[in-house]
Amino acid sequence: MVEIDLVFAEQLRTARRNAGLSLAEACDGICSISYLSLIESGKRNANPRMARELAARMEIKLPAPLITAGVHPLADRAEMAYRAGGLKAAKKFIDRMDNAPEALLILGLDAESQGNLEKSAGYLKRAFEAPFVSPVTKMTVALSRCRVLREMGHLQHAISIGEHALEEWRGYSDELTDVVVGLRGTIAGAYLETGDLHQAAELNDLELNKLPSPRAKAMNLWAKANVAAEEGDFIEAELITREALVWARLADHPRMTATLLENRVLDALRTPKPNLEQIAADLDAAEALHDQYEGDKTYTFKARALVLAMKGDKEGALKKLELARDLVDPEYSIDYSKFAFSAVGVYTKLGMAAEAKREAEKCITALEKSGASRTVAVMYRNLADIVLKQGDKDRALELLLKATEMFGLDTQLINHTAPSVIGTK
């Protein structure tokens, strides 16, 4: 016999009466008057969909069992099969799930891993908008969708989707799950790319001891380190990243650990006197972790190329740069522009001026195909400095103006670049 949730029944009845609503007004468009009466009197449970709609209308929280209710019974098995053996292993479960949101989520994750972001976004949109998706599944889909939209450069759309999902979750529960923490960090990352450090910091303002797991702690610290680095406080970013790495290792999460190590390298390379030995050690550790789960080594190879170039090892630097080039799809403009920008740095360090100029033009061409974002604006700004040093003042000013338009006359941009470019014009 199914146990009746009398606590939810009492909360629903009390909230309806406090709102001054009749049974007919409270259930309009959701269920029949008699059905709501049975629920409120504790004679039957509401089905998950109706319970969610009634709770939202009455502005009360859902009982914990109803937050996960509606998840497809094969969802866990499909996810485990996918993580262990990829899409082929998961297909036998996905094919039996009849386009359930959880099946669409796995298909979206797989398309993302293959670099097909448009296809991934399509699967995730269908999963997100499914009529009976459970709150816990919807949050997981929102996290993936927000991440993919960011990768595609659709920052405002990513922020809108993520914040809407967070607001819905607040209607169901106050619990800070791993997915909720991850979604907050992903939205914060999108805000960082738009230049809104205040909103990013606010989303990450969570107390570590209230987070549910080592993984959640690592994710939150990672997001906080990104804000510190964006503010230019690389010492603080290093300290936070160091703590995040401890939690990521405790969570036994090689992918996150590798990315944190790469973030630390990126921050270190932006300091006036980077510790090349520590950077090399971090890259060794990141590469070993990538080998464990067949991760993307593009950044590792780019960073190694730059470090070797800084050490004067021309042959080694060029070999690593070509390994990175082989991993980048020229049709994926934002990733290719990031590679070309790294190549400019390597060639410049090696004194290969013609090659640096050629890669700068490739970077500009790729950026022109990308959607507007703060990342693109920053790259235009930095390219303006590089092109100026190459002697092309007109091109440098053109790039600066593009960056300025994207930033919306950001004062940091003006102070950092405009005097050097415009002052020499």
- CATH for the stretch 75-174: 1.25.40.10
Please count the residues of the chain: 425
**CA nearest to 254, candidates 294, 195, 196, 200:** 294
pLDDT digits (tens, 9 = 90+) for 82-120: 877 888 899 999 999 988 999 999 999 998 877 788 899
Give the CA angle between residues 397, 399, 404 to the nearest 5°: 90
pLDDT digits (tens, 9 = 90+) for 218-255: 999 999 999 999 888 989 999 999 999 999 999 998 98
- For residues 123 and 118, the model is more confident at 123
pLDDT digits (tens, 9 = 90+) for 374-420: 677 778 888 888 888 888 888 888 888 888 777 654 434 444 444 44
The topology under which CATH files domain 6-68 is 434 Repressor (Amino-terminal Domain) (1.10.260)
- Judged by average pLDDT, the poorest of 28-37, 286-295, 327-336, 408-417 is 408-417
**CA nearest to 94, candidates 84, 114, 113, 79:** 79
The two domains 6-68 and 75-174 share their CATH topology (first three levels equal): no
- For residues 3 and 331, the model is more confident at 331
**CA nearest to 324, candidates 307, 348, 347, 300:** 300
Note the pLDDT of residue 408. Answer: 58
Note the pLDDT of residue 321. Answer: 95
What is the spatial distance between Cα 359 and Cα 349, in angstroms, rounded to a whole number?
Answer: 14
One-letter amino acid for residue 36 of the chain: L
Note the pLDDT of residue 374. Answer: 65
pTM: 0.76
pLDDT digits (tens, 9 = 90+) for 288-312: 998 887 788 999 999 999 999 999 9
- How do the domains of the chain map onto residue ranges? 6-68, 75-174
Note the pLDDT of residue 404. Answer: 79
pLDDT digits (tens, 9 = 90+) for 138-185: 999 999 999 999 887 788 899 999 999 999 888 888 889 999 999 999
281, 286, 291, 292: CA torsion to nearest 10: 110
